[in-house]
Chain A
Amino acid sequence: MTTPVTTPASAPVNVSAAAPAPTTSPRTARKSARRRELGAAGALMTPFFILLVTVFLIPVATAVWLSFFSDDQPGLGFGPERTVFVGLRSYTAVLTDPTFLSGLGAVVLYCVIYIPLMVIGALALALLLDSGVVRLRSWAQLGLFLPHAVPGIIAAVIWLYLYTPGLSPVIDLLGKADITIDFLGVHTVVPSIVNIALWSNLGYNMVVFYAALQAVPREVIEASVVDGAGPVRTALQIKTPLVRSSVVMVAMFTLIFALQLFTEPMLLSQSTPMISSRFSPSMYIYDAAFTRNNYGLAAAASVVLLVCTIALSYGVTRWTNRSDAAEEDAR
């Protein structure tokens, strides 16, 4: 395994060149084997990295580049003609635009409601299912998971109709009990969107947590039962800390997707004036790019959203790493 490697700085791309010549000394044999390995690695990775460059790196670089330029003639490709360097002007425009700031505010509010509800709800359900007292467990799991198979736009359609007076049996029922509620009002619209996202993803995350709980060694749980811990204490103080890494992972992915909030409000905006065309940062980007054709503004907003996403994800990892370390120290 510890072959002395004299790797060329760049991985060879040509695979056929790596065909082994009839070797004489073991050193050349090892060298050609090494070259063959690098050739195979290159061949297996090239398709993915071509995609990475074309649909990820170049677009990100283009977004950053565009954000520093102003282009009055949209639709001429990404060539540099007729574009003027404007420095941070687009950023100033975005960050002082009240519609962008209120979009950020809406997403922050959405995240603050949605993420704790999602993580706690999914974990609680997984713990309940793992407790062994639930009847028809696999059926319950299947039922909870079902919404994951419903595409986001269709989940939004279903709930939009359930929010619409005249169509919705929910509003009808509530009306019979003399409760009138406008699900798409000023204060209810964000919770209504949270509900759609929660409905769509609760079961999926529950399955992730449940899978992690299944991997907890049974001896640990038996030991805690012998020590006299009740089922609730076992769940909260023994099992939950042991599935920390999946809690972090779920929280992270939920956050990343929550920041991109687009599909649900986009659909609801067709039916309620409460959701403007710039309701969330992603909708703002779409509106700036494809309705107002202001590419510089859209690009600057994209970069701001990107930076926020990276900063928050980095914050979450740092924070969990630190509290991990603190926990280690405490032991």
Chain B
Amino acid sequence: MSATAPTRTAAVLRPRLLGRSVVNLVVGISVLYTLLPVLWLVLAASKDRDALFGSDVLSLDHFSFAQNLKDLFATDGGLYTRWYGNSLLYAVLGAGLGALISIACGYAFDKYRFAHKEKLFGLVLAAVMVPQTVLALPLYLMASGTGLVNTFWSVFIPVLFNPFGVYLGRIFSQGYVPNEVLEAARVDGAGELTTYFRVAMRMLGPGLVTVFLFQLTAIWNNFFLPMVMLSDQDLYPVSLGLYTWNSAATVSPEYYPVVIMGSLLAVLPLILAFALLQRFWKSGLTAGAVK
């Protein structure tokens, strides 16, 4: 009797223990899968070209992080700094302005009644799924027709358009801005727009940050539109700049360490943004996922 009791508990526990370790193993391997390439980028950025082509990024020799950094900012007359500034300008200004526009529209969709509302909203949702490549040629022709092609505006204006942000804005407005608050403001005689800017927008703060982050990521990643619109290298964002340097690297390998270092630096702003604004975008994801 006394001998069987521990064996039985062990038998109940064993598969569970096994299950636990399998679960942790699977998650662990997945984390390695996502982390190791980033780690490789970090290590490769700190190596000189010989070590890079010797495939031994793990050794401590050939350490040349500072030199690579210096090379990066010196290549082609410091073009990288220019690209980085452009990317920041496109992404931060574009996402900020775009988020304000989308959230305002989503709020209006939620709080006001007007003719053909759901049809218009359907149009907004349809815009989410239209491929960017479909719009690129007409946008290019329109831009060249108006003389905007190869200017800051040819990239900046199209990225402001964020129909998914309107969808999120409507959901956030439903969730965060109670109708009673608006009623109360109306009774107090506040104008509709004053109410929006003074009261509702403050409540929509987390939603605004979420949409901002989504759009920041999208614009920072943007590659197709700049490639179509821009021919002046001084206007390039980082993504397109690294693309051109990478194609240069296939001919002249001295570009490889520069591309790698440039890639590493280009990852930082988004990591920083996600880390700083973590609690906002997590709530935003939930809103998008549950509804």
Contact = CB atoms under 8 A, between A and B. Distances in A.
A214 B286 contact: yes
A231 to B, nearest CB: 7
Interface residues of B, number: 97
B267 A161 contact: no
B66 interface: no
A59 to B, nearest CB: 4
Interface stretch (B1-9, B33-41, B69-77): B33-41
Interface in A146-182: 146-155, 157-162, 166-169, 171-172
B260 A289 contact: no
B44 to A, nearest CB: 7
A209 B289 contact: yes
B166 interface: yes
Given A56-B135, A128-B26, A309-B131, A157 B105 contact: no
Given A59-B138, A267-B246, A133 B19 contact: yes
B133 A260 contact: yes
Given A143-B31, A167-B53, A208-B285, A48 B40 contact: no
A48 to B, nearest CB: 4
Contacts of B84: none
A62 B243 contact: no
Interface string B253-291: 000100110010011001100100000001001101110
A252 B220 CA distance: 23
Contact of A211 (B105, B250, B290): B290
Contacts of B288: 208, 249
Given A55-B157, A199-B37, A15 B193 contact: yes
A51 interface: yes
A262 interface: yes
A270 B133 contact: no
Contacts of B57: 169
B133 A151 contact: no
A215 B290 CA distance: 7
A155 B41 CA distance: 10
A62 B142 contact: yes
B144 interface: yes
A259 interface: yes
Nearest to B43: A169
Contacts of A226: none
A264 to B, nearest CB: 10
B263 A157 contact: yes
B55 A167 contact: yes
Given A40-B108, A151-B239, A302-B137, A249 B223 contact: no
B158 A55 contact: yes
Most buried by A among B26, B55, B250: B55
Contacts of B132: 260
A158 B37 CA distance: 7
Interface in A55-100: 55-56, 58-60, 62-63, 66, 75, 77-79
A113 interface: no
Nearest to B165: A48
Contact of A153 (B28, B58, B242): B242
Contacts, number: 288
Contacts of B220: 151
A149 B271 contact: yes
B215 interface: no
B89 interface: no
A114 to B, nearest CB: 16
Contacts of A48: 101-102, 104-105, 161, 166
Given A52-B163, A60-B130, A286 B136 contact: yes
Contacts of A158: 37-38, 40-41, 263
Given A146-B34, A158-B41, A262 B53 contact: no
A144 B30 contact: yes
A203 B32 CA distance: 12
B263 A51 contact: no
B115 A7 contact: yes
Nearest to B20: A133
A214 B290 CA distance: 10
B141 A62 contact: yes
Contacts of A310: 126, 129
Given A151-B220, A153-B240, 6 more contacts: A40-B112, A59-B134, A66-B141, A152-B221, A160-B246, A295-B137
4 A-B pairs with the lowest CB-CB distances in the bound complex, closest first:
A40-B192, A77-B145, A59-B138, A62-B138
Interface of B: 19-20, 23-24, 26-28, 30-31, 33-35, 37-38, 40-41, 44, 52-53, 55-58, 101-102, 104-105, 107-109, 111-115, 123-124, 126-142, 144-145, 157-158, 160-161, 163, 166, 186, 191-193, 196, 217, 220-221, 223-224, 227-228, 238-240, 242-243, 246-247, 250, 256, 259-260, 263, 266-267, 270-271, 274, 282, 285-286, 288-290
18 contacts: A40-B108, A40-B191, A40-B196, A41-B108, A48-B104, A55-B158, A60-B130, A62-B142, A128-B23, A134-B27, A153-B223, A154-B242, A158-B41, A211-B290, A270-B246, A286-B136, A286-B228, A313-B129
